Amino acid sequence: MKKNYVSNSPESVRMFKSSFLESLSKVPFYVPLIVYIPVIGYFGYQSFFNNPILTAIGAVALGLFIWTFTEYILHRFIFHFYPKSEWGRRIHFIFHGVHHDYPNDAHRLVMPPSASIPLALAFYFLFKAILPVHLLDGFFTGFIIGYLVYDMMHYFLHHARFSHPILKRLKQHHMLHHYDDATKGYGVSSDLWDKIFRSEILKKKS
């Protein structure tokens, strides 16, 4: 399998001529926490205030579970879709290719709000159209919790050392995706769907 270019530099590569657009493409890891913890608090409060506690807990759990599947689908079929056109390849590089070329760039490891907020709004209105109204707030709470865990996990998988065996396994899983086979190992916060769809990267025996 042909290996892609990978830089071990922690520096950011410039993607846009416009300084404004460039600034929107880079974000410290804690910014999603600032943006989405209040969102989680608001929708979580609405769910638990307006529903029986078991209904609210179930809706949050369902939203969290659906996030894990969404994470897998987005990563496998959207982020790793390789267009043939020059324009399409440019879009792919901006959204995900740059991360694979520069995996140690700390300012492009979480999704910038310029991308995550429109996506969150799109998902919210999709869920609003298909879910019973009493489940919407709790489901969205769980979904955004899942997204936030994913973003934070992604950052720390690249920049932290773990002693816990589950976290060590997830880090290895993600590093194999980057440095061994980018066509497998799409789960970041969980490898559940890689196991289900048989897209795990099996560690080579020495």
- Does 119 map to a domain? yes
CB contact set of 161 (below 8 Å; sequence gap of 6+): none
7-24 pLDDT, tens digit per residue, is 666 666 777 778 888 777
**pLDDT tens sequence across 21-58:** 877 778 899 999 999 999 999 999 999 999 999 999 99
Q: What is the mean pLDDT of the chain?
A: 88
Residue 153 forms part of a structural domain:
yes
Give a yes or no: residue 197 inside a domain. Answer: no
Number of domains in the chain: 1
Give a yes or no: residue 78 inside a domain: yes
Contact 155, 107 (CB under 8 A): no
- The answer to whether residue 77 sits within a structural domain is yes
Domain of 120, in residue numbers: 28-161
What would the pLDDT profile of 70-79 be if each residue is shown by its tens digit?
Answer: 999 999 998 8
Q: Is residue 20 part of a domain?
A: no
Residues 136-160, mean pLDDT to the nearest whole number: 95
Is there a domain that residue 154 lies in? yes
- Residue 4: what are its φ and ψ, rounded to 5°? -80, 165
Distance CA 42, CA 56 (A): 13
**pLDDT at 19 (0 to 100):** 82
**Residue of higher predicted confidence among 72 and 181:** 72
pTM score > 0.95 for this model?
no
pLDDT band at 202 (very low <50, low <70, confident <90, very high): confident
200 in a structural domain? no
